[in-house]
Amino acid sequence: MWEVTNNLTFANENFPYWCRFNATRLYFNVTDLDFCICNATIAADSDIAGVGVMTSIAGMALCTIVVALIPAYYDITVAQKARFRSLLWPCEDDANTLSMDSIARRDCIQELEANVNHQSQNERADRESSNIQESAGESNVDQEQPRHLALAETLLGNLCDLQLFTATAIVTAAFAQGANLSFYHQSFVLNYWWLTLNSFWASRQDEHWSSTQAQSQQKSTTTQGLETDEKRTVAGNIKALASRTDMLLRGDERFRSWFRRLLVFCCTAEFIVFAGLAIWKQDYGEWDALGPGRCYISHDKSTWQSDWFWLAGVCIYALIRLVILVSKTKIMLEAYSENLQDTEDWLFRKCIGRWVDFRAQIQRRGEIRHWGRGAAAAFCCFLVLALTTLIFSALIQFAAIWSFGDGFYALEVAFYIGMWAWSFYDIVDLKISNQHLLTEPETAWGFGQVLAVVLMGMIVFNLIDAFHGTKKTKAKVLGGR
């Protein structure tokens, strides 16, 4: 039994650590300040906090990140390299040989916009030489992906499917326990879902490519449907209605990708309800440092005041998932995203132009310390444009990471790694810090733990399916030529 006093002065002088539980005026002599956070028993539940469940969910999330490194490397070495080369090339050589008269400055700035089309043609030729080939159709050109990239993106979609059902199952199981679920196990469920969110984000790479891949197939199917005169029967009307609904919702996209996005939205909506109730109970309702199952010890203090912020972000993500379930709104958002990227490129070109203009002013003056009014104005314009471009790019990148759009994919993967490390730290910290509060060790290997570990074997089957899928796709493309 702890030593206790109602004298604050005595507690400060004689107790190395003391804490006061709830609203009482009793000061308890404790051996560790963690006891002030929670000093109550927690009923064990190995199907949620067992080592097998932890290993399975964290391992599959880590596997997703490893696979995502492949398109991230491709994005850096091919896509972003070509993009920045097209932005920097026009004045790359001219900046060193620019004359000091205004006519030459204007010519260089004009080259920033005039030579982009020429550079794009060169970049397309480079991409053809690096296995990004183009096969001509009747009225359009379909671009063939490198095999390793197609394999990675297909595997990302398969991993998302696997973790989608895992996340839905564990949140549903938490709901099923109701008030019997301890705050300790609530925190495990929350962190498990944050780990699976990485797969939801990463699977958007597969969704992007599936739209392009299914476009020609959908067009041919639609053409055949229009040419067929169906009889006005009940079955025909139902089939026509189903076809119109399918075109409205799915459009040119594969059904599997659209259905995955629907399930992701449902899983996210379920998590929002669960997380909102859990945050409310823990922060404002039923937290009790002496109540069994109503407290736990956590050393991650960053989440105490930011839970609602992260939940609001998840709500935005769910809203975007809901909006793009309709084909037309998805196309509108894609077009809006492309316009934002074009605006970003335009700002970048303007920055280069202002920098070239500033250097020309400096060369005219001869010495940097005698800038003059023109050079100072050019530098201010460059500085304002540079800051605007950085802020604009940061906003686009944040939107691409969190909900929708195209950004620098390597930064997205870096964000996934940070989210994984954060959630994994929280899980390990919860497991270690609360062991002495459990009524019994959570080492029992029941159906829940065994199933979670066995599901990791599905990764091998997903890899085989993705490999054979890309192999068949390549065979069809080569055969079509």
Angle of the 307-323 helix axis to the 255-280 helix axis, nearest 10: 150
Q: What are the structure tokens assigned to 113, written together?
A: 């916009």
List alpha helices for 324-457, DSSP H.
327-365, 372-402, 409-433, 447-455
Q: Is 23 helix (H, G, I), strand (E, B) or coil?
A: coil
Instruction: Please report the pLDDT score of residue 15 as a whole number.
Output: 74
Beta-bridge partners for 18? 29
Closest CA to 358 of 31, 143, 95: 95
DSSP for 191-260 reads HHHHHHHHHHHHTHHHHHHHHHHHHHHHHHHHHHHHHS---SSHHHHHHHHHHHHHHHHTTTS-HHHHHH
Backbone angles phi, psi at 39, to 5 degrees: -140, 60
Which among 85, 78, 164, 86 has a CA at the least distance from the CA of 128?
Answer: 78
Residue given tokens 């004298």 in the structure block: 7
Gap between the Cα atoms of 99 and 104, Å rounded: 6
Question: Which residue is associated with the tokens 């696997």?
Answer: 162
DSSP code at position 76: I
In angstroms, the CA 358 to CA 350 distance is: 12
pLDDT for 342: 87
Contact 455, 162 (CB under 8 A): yes
Helical spans, DSSP H, in 292-326: 307-323
The Cα–Cα gap between 26 and 434 comes to 24
CB 137 within 8 A of CB 216: yes
Are 480 and 141 a contacting pair, CB within 8 Å?
A: no
What pLDDT does residue 270 have? Answer: 95
pLDDT per residue of the chain (481 residues) written in tens, 0 to 9:
567 777 777 777 777 777 776 656 666 766 677 777 888 889 999 889 999 999 999 999 999 899 889 888 888 888 888 887 877 765 444 444 443 344 444 554 455 445 544 444 554 444 444 444 433 333 333 345 677 787 888 888 888 888 888 889 999 999 999 889 999 999 999 999 999 988 888 777 655 544 444 444 444 444 444 444 444 576 777 777 777 776 767 777 778 888 888 999 999 999 999 999 999 888 887 888 888 998 898 888 775 668 888 899 899 999 988 988 888 888 888 888 888 888 888 888 888 888 877 777 777 655 555 556 667 777 788 888 889 889 988 888 888 887 777 778 888 889 989 999 999 999 999 999 999 889 998 888 888 888 888 888 887 877 777 676 665 555 554 455 5
Task: Give the DSSP letter of residue 407.
Answer: -
Q: What is the pLDDT of residue 108?
A: 46
- Which residues partner with 143 through β-bridges? 134
Compute the distance between CA of residue 212 and CA of residue 135 in angstroms, rounded to an integer: 13
pLDDT at position 120, please?
46
Structure-block tokens of residue 82? 């070509």
| Distance in angstroms (rounded) separating the CA atoms of residues 397 and 75 | 14
3-class state of residue 457 by DSSP: coil
Contacts of 116 (CB under 8 A, 6+ apart): 86, 90, 349
Residue with tokens 């132009």: 353
DSSP result, 95-162 = TTS--SSHHHHHHHHHHHHHTHHHHHHHHHHHHHHTT--EEE-SS-EEEPPPHHHHHHHHHHHHHHHH
In angstroms and rounded to an integer, the radius of gyration of the C-alpha atoms of the chain is: 29
pTM: 0.75
Residue with tokens 């002496």: 290
pLDDT of residue 24: 65
How far apart, in Å, do the first and last CA atoms of the chain sit?
83
d(CA 40, CA 183): 12
Q: Distance of alpha carbon 327 from its chain centroid, rounded?
A: 21
Among residues 300, 279, 218, which one has the least CA distance to residue 253?
Answer: 218
Rounded CA separation 453/445 (Å): 11
